[in-house]
Amino acid sequence: MATALTDLSHYDPKGVPDGAGMRMALVVAEWNEEITHALAEGARRTLLHHGVREEDLRVERVPGSYELAPAAKILIDSEPFDAVICVGSVIRGETPHFDYVCQATAKGIMDVNLLTGVPTIFCVLTDDSIGQARARSGGKHGNKGVDCAVAALKMAALRRRVRG
């Protein structure tokens, strides 16, 4: 596993922009809720820790990871956000369904990034087992939600800097 030597929750807080005044959204898949709840909570806590106010953080739930990109686009079209974090978990099963969902989800989230210009962060675990997912959502490898919240803050700050 690529994260075997990485703690997804470890970062240098001095290198993270202040989130004060930033509007953020979390779009969270209900499928594999144990995992997505933990990821979303890690992201939420990190955003709040870095100055994003609770009232500037919108959380929406969708059925599964496949629905993350369309929901992110709907939110971006409805109100101004500095970044959107798409939170999901797809665990390999016995059919190729895993491959289709993972590929469509990744492409959809990238398309939203490119179409809207709003940083749309891929916080989707694509694991072979529930054990791997647990290890990356607050277990021995940390919490990918923390890592993605930091990415959202950095990308939102970059966008603000470039746009003036």
Catalytic residues: 97
Among candidate residues 41, 43, 27, 25, the one with its CA nearest the CA of residue 83: 25
Listed as own residue / partner, the contacts of 133-139 with beta carbons closer than 8 Å and 24 or more positions apart are 133/32, 133/35, 133/89, 133/91, 134/34, 134/35, 135/3, 136/3, 136/8, 137/34, 137/35, 137/36, 137/38, 137/39, 137/42, 137/89, 138/38, 138/42
| Separation CA 160–CA 164 (nearest Å) | 6
Q: Are 105 and 65 in contact (CB under 8 A)?
A: yes
Output b/e per residue, 78-87; b: 16+ Cβ within 10 A: eeebbbbbbb
